[in-house]
Chains A and B, each alone.
Chain A
Amino acid sequence: MSRWGMVIDLRKCVGCQTCTIACKQTNNTPPKVFWRWVADIETGEYPDVNRRFVPMGCQHCTNPPCFEVCPTTATYKRPDGIVDINYNLCIGCAYCIVACPYLARNIVFETKSYYETGLIPPEQVLAHPDRIGVATKCNFCLPRVDAGLARGLKPGVDPDATPMCVGSCISNAMHFGDLDDPDSIVSRYIAENDTVRLSEELGTESAMYYIVE
């Protein structure tokens, strides 16, 4: 069984936010909701300062705090490591939002347009009424991954089976693949570089690895 994960090389990320937009376009997320976004961070003290860009989103933890607290089992963990939400079960209690230490989850209570005129025709077509009043978050473009696998494609290698943020990255900073396959691109990156994970001290064992230096 595969265990999907991501490696993000912060040395390469230029903060262009292409992944952010690719995610929004693919998943049709509403205004102010970002499943993938890039934090713009200044580190160090003058004169030794540095600017870094850190792509953020659901970390698809091995021990997800959101899964543990969810009273409805709407949040569930697939055998391949992807943490997903069953919108039909979610009651929108937002417990998962306060449990997630990565600010990865969102909830909206009404359909909103990007325009002052109200929903324009494309937005009406792409609206997701099932996502109103429930928690939402990145799912590693699960429909793309599953559809690709069904067609015999290899996620992380074949673009059509790979999350859109990874496929759209202009600097090749983001990589997706099977963490359990020693020959996958992510396993090789992890083996060849020093990687860190966000807020490791919380013991969430996230599936997103960052190459910092």
Chain B
Amino acid sequence: MELIPSQKQRVWKLPAVVNFTMGGIGTGFYLLALLVNLPANGEWLQAFLAGQPDWFTLAFVAGVFKLLGVGCAGIGFIALTTEAGQPQRGINLFRHLRRSWMSRETLAFFLFTAFAGLDWLFPFPLLRALAAAAALFLMVAQGFILYRARGVITWNTPRVIFYFLTCGFMTGAGLMLVVFNALQVFIPLSSAFSFAAIGFAAALFNLALWFIYLQSNDAAFPKATQALRTQKAMLQIVGVGHILPALLLILAMALGPGPLLTPVIEILAGMLLLFGGARQKYGIVLEAGYLRAVVLSPAKFDALRRRARGA
């Protein structure tokens, strides 16, 4: 017996979307930035102390690839302060690390910031590894935050955790395509990996996870995710946010690194990947954020009713 029908949650709004989106972009970007060969291995401080004139350029490039991800995730946290009722008590967020994924997310962000910041100042593989582990944990924690919200049908599914991982890497690849190609205009950069190929693979993986996410045996799930299945939403998420950038990246890979057109195509594809990920998270949090109906267990209720009538 349904007592209270399912209704949309109204407490987590746009700042929550910004947090989840920027968190995914920032962590995904940082993890992919580990694949960039930084000029002078990112050791700008030595150049500065030695009085070399290019120290600022080195510091800037290292800063982009080591701190931009932190900055993105930080924007997400700042956005949340506009939504919380008593943000000045934020230090209390660390009090429930044993069980709350929001506490763990906060800790992961601070560790990510600290290790990435230290690695920018004093490049060291261990610091980079710790920052990468914190970034990955932050990405996972954000998925778990939604998963543990047992009141919301469309969040309380383990599929959302895996989706957050693929989306994080996809949007991180999107930002990487934009930044890497834009910086190439001023500074020659290299990587042993093709970010176009990574972006293409991430888009396909994320699209697959998206369709897996939309499948559920829970009868209430399709209704709650109806807004994500409309023609308009499909066009935006699947078409503009995944298929189109994937096709553009195939074109970029076919053209090769030579022509000027390639970076322009890659930047456009990157921006579309960012749009695709942000649109998905907007949809999950705001459009499909339906609270569970409150029910008296149907089977038990029917049994009681039959028994009462028999008596």
Contact = CB atoms under 8 A, between A and B. Distances in A.
Interface in A67-90: 67-74, 89-90
A194 B304 CA distance: 7
A99 B148 contact: yes
A114 interface: no
B304 A213 contact: yes
A202 B295 CA distance: 11
A101 interface: yes
A91 B77 CA distance: 14
A97 B291 CA distance: 10
Interface stretch (B3-11, B180-188, B203-211): B3-11
Contacts of A92: 84-87
Interface residues of B, number: 47
B95 A73 contact: yes
Contacts of A21: none
A116 interface: no
B93 interface: yes
B305 A98 contact: no
Contacts of B87: 91-92
Contact of B155 (A41, A98, A212): A98
B295 A98 contact: no
B100 A213 contact: no
B17 interface: no
Interface string A20-63: 00000000000000000001010100000000101010000000
B140 to A, nearest CB: 16
A71 B93 contact: yes
B232 interface: no
Contact of B304 (A65, A68, A200, A212): A212
A77 B6 CA distance: 27
Given A41-B1, A91-B86, A101-B151, A69 B100 contact: yes
Interface stretch (A102-110, A139-147, A183-191): A102-110
Given A65-B150, A73-B95, A213 B4 contact: no
Nearest to B153: A101
B150 A99 contact: yes
A170 interface: no
A132 interface: yes
A91 B151 CA distance: 20
B102 A69 contact: yes
Nearest to B101: A69
A91 B80 CA distance: 11
B96 interface: yes
B262 interface: no
Contacts of A100: 150-151
A189 B242 CA distance: 58
B149 interface: yes
Contacts of A134: 85-86
Contacts of B301: 196, 212
Interface in B252-311: 289, 291-292, 294-297, 300-301, 304-305, 307-308
A43 B1 contact: yes
Contacts of B304: 194, 196, 212-213
Contact of B296 (A70, A95, A196): A196
B84 A71 contact: no
Nearest to B289: A98
Contacts of A202: 150, 292
Nearest to B88: A91
Given A71-B93, A90-B86, A56 B3 contact: yes
Given A71-B92, A194-B304, A213-B307, A93 B84 contact: yes
A158 B96 CA distance: 37
Contacts of B148: 65, 68-69, 99
B96 A65 contact: no
B103 A71 contact: yes
Given A90-B86, A98-B9, A200-B300, A68 B93 contact: no
Contact of B12 (A94, A103, A198, A212): A94
Nearest to A195: B304
B142 interface: no
A93 B295 contact: no
- Closest 8 pairs between A and B when the two form their complex, measured CB to CB: A92-B85, A133-B85, A213-B308, A71-B102, A72-B92, A94-B11, A65-B150, A71-B103
Given A56-B3, A71-B100, A212-B1, 15 more contacts: A41-B2, A69-B145, A71-B96, A71-B106, A72-B93, A74-B92, A91-B90, A92-B84, A94-B11, A99-B150, A103-B294, A134-B85, A134-B86, A200-B297, A204-B150
13 contacts: A41-B3, A67-B99, A72-B89, A73-B92, A91-B93, A94-B11, A98-B289, A103-B294, A198-B296, A199-B297, A202-B150, A202-B292, A213-B307
